[in-house]
Amino acid sequence: MVEFKVKITTIDDVKKFVNTVTKYDFDVDLISGRYAIDAKSIMGIFSIDLSKELVLKAHTDDADLVKADLANYIVD
C-alpha cells in the first residue's frame, strides 16, 4: 500500500482526480479525519470536507505509477 497527502480543491479537480483513479484495477481510498471513502466515487468525494488535508491510500506497491499520475494533487 502507498500513502500520500493530497489536496483536491475545485469541482474540476474532483472530476479529473476520479477519472484518473478509476483506471486503476486496485482500490484507492481517501481519508479525511475519521472518514474513509472510495476515491473512485465522485459522490463520496463530495461528501467529505475538501478544505481539510486528505490522505490517499492506494492498495498497490507501484508507488511510482500513482505518484506520476496524481502529481498535481500530492502535497509535500
Residue 59 predicted with pLDDT over 80: yes
Tally the domains of the chain.
1
Show the domain range for 16: 2-69
pTM above 0.85, yes or no: yes
Check residue 14 and give its pLDDT: 96
Given the C-alpha cell 509535500, which residue does it identify?
Answer: 76
Dihedral, CA of residue 12, residue 16, residue 64 and residue 4, to nearest 10: 50
Q: Could you tell me if residue 76 is inside a domain? A: no
Give dist(CA 2, CA 49) in Å, integer.
22
pLDDT of 46 above 90:
yes
CA distance 35 to 20: 22
In a domain, 75, yes or no: no
Of residues 56, 54, 7, the one with CA closest to residue 32: 54
Assess whether pLDDT exceeds 90 at residue 76.
Answer: no
CATH number, domain of 23, equals: 3.30.1340.10
Q: Is the pLDDT of residue 25 over 80?
A: yes
